[in-house]
Amino acid sequence: MDKKQTRKILIASLVGSSIEWFDYFLYGTVAALVFNQLFFVNEDPTVGLLLAYASFALAFFIRPFGGVVFSHIGDRIGRKKTLVLTLSLMGVATFGMGLLPTYQAIGIWAPILLITLRLVQGLGIGGEWGGALLLAVEYSPKEKRGLFGSIPQMGVTIGMLMGTIALWIMTLLPEGSFMTWGWRVPFILSALLVIFGLWIRKGIDETPEFKKVQESGNIPKLPIADTLKYHWREVLIAIGAKFVETAPFYIFSTFIVSYGTVNLGFSRTSILASVMVATVVTTLLIPFMGNLSDTVGRKKLYIIGAVAMALFSFPYFWMIQQGSVVLLVIATVIGLGIIWSPITAVLGTLFSEIFDAKVRYTGISLGYQIGAALAGGTAPLVATALLARFSDSYVPVALYIIFTALVSLIAILAIKGKGNLQKERKFSMNQSHI
């Protein structure tokens, strides 16, 4: 494969992933600032916030279903067709959110319609991640699998960065304008990004490894059944490994929006700015960490990140408790920018290397999305509930981060080999099964 084609594949993987995550993260940030007031109306602000976060979490529980549905298509029909479907689905849902009337206008139908569109988002992202990852990994040169696998992971932070910037610009409006129409603008303009993403993906071909599966005629009739029967152990490893990659991420990026403004007195602009700075740092570090994993091993890099995350949980909360914007930025950069980057950079490649090519889309999607449902979408909800239960003490939230790190360490230690899963030997074994 020449450099031009390689660049085209990586751009298609990155652009589509970035747009999907932009749409997805936009909801999480707006949930903490707007939806708790305009859609989940309640006399008690904490209850309104909990309801908004509950709607945020719901999509995580629908994501595994999206993963099963679209990975079935991806393992039977192809990665490319699936990615077009997921991006279209996400775009329609996000655009629709920007047009929704509020609770004051249509009453209980406002939160019902909002939750419905959020569930559609969950279905879309459930199938998107695995396809975007495999598009990069299954086209990668053998010695650069870690680097290529980290590229679609950059889409997570780029999408979040775009969403945060868009919302940050809107928060510069007067409060009344922001709450009336300003928050809607990023949702509506996302339609243009989706059209661009579909155009980019239109020009790519199916991955070489899926073509080999097609040529062999060894396409499973029901990939989910084969995955659960023959690869259940790998699915459990992926679920556990996802914990420390997802829970701290949503605490540092989503939960902090409400906690920092309501409990600590920071302005919305300061919080969003700190997340933006940290996200830029992460985005720059992810390909570096992915490339490093091709040398030192995925497993070693992941363990270092998980241990560092556990050790940083209490210092993080101590730093932001000081009320200093500078310390807030530093704490967010360390947690979300530096410590989280090696974990997320190797995650996708690590998952792809433990599943056979014929069920790889299903296997990685199932593990990733179930792990995200258990520890990701629930993280802001759990953290808010812990604060309410323990009189605004951050100690239980810090302990929760440590707990997720321990779960992931146990899972990752169950992987045999040096962390690239004996790199080429494992992948060559997979090919011999095709």
Can you spell out the DSSP letters for 243-293? Answer: HHHHHHHHIIIIIHHHIIIIIS---HHHHHHHHHHHHHHHHHHHHHHHHHH
- Write down the pLDDT at residue 429: 40
Q: How many helices (H) and strands (E) does the chain have?
A: 21, 0
Number of domains observed in the structure of the chain: 1
Which residue range(s) make up the domain with 357? 3-433
How do the residues of the chain divide into helix, strand and coil, expressed in percent and rounded to 5? 85, 0, 15
Quote the DSSP letter at residue 107: T
pLDDT tens across 388-403, in order?
888 888 999 999 999 9
Residues of the chain with pLDDT under 50: 418-419, 421-434
pLDDT tens across 245-300, in order?
999 998 998 888 889 988 899 988 899 889 889 999 999 999 999 999 999 999 99
Can you spell out the DSSP letters for 192-233? Answer: HHHHHHHHHHHT----HHHHHHHHHT---SSHHHHHHHHSHH
Biggest alpha carbon–alpha carbon distance for the chain: 63
Contact 353, 241 (CB under 8 A): no
Please give the model's pTM, rounded to 2 decimal places. 0.82
Residue 146 token pair: 């870690």
Rg of the chain on CA atoms, in Å: 21
Contact 201, 14 (CB under 8 A): no
- Write down the pLDDT at residue 417: 59
pLDDT tens across 209-249, in order?
777 877 777 777 788 888 899 889 999 999 999 999 999 99
- Write down the pLDDT at residue 201: 78
pLDDT tens across 111-128, in order?
899 999 989 988 888 888
Can you spell out the DSSP letters for 41-102? Answer: --SSHHHHHHHHHHHHHHHHHHHHHHHHHHHHHHHHT-HHHHHHHHHHHHHHHHHHHHH---
- Which CATH number do you get for residue 219? 1.20.1250.20
User: Residue 162 CA to chain centroid, in angstroms?
Assistant: 14
Residue 78 token pair: 């192809």
* Mean per-residue pLDDT of the chain: 86
Which of 403, 65, 422, 368 shows the shortest CA–CA distance to 238?
368
Residue 327 token pair: 């310390």
Residue 41's φ and ψ, nearest 5 degrees, are: -75, 130
Residue 393's φ and ψ, nearest 5 degrees, are: -80, 135
Alpha-carbon separation of residue 330 from 40, 248, 253, 262, 338 (angstroms):
33, 16, 14, 20, 10
- Write down the pLDDT at residue 296: 94
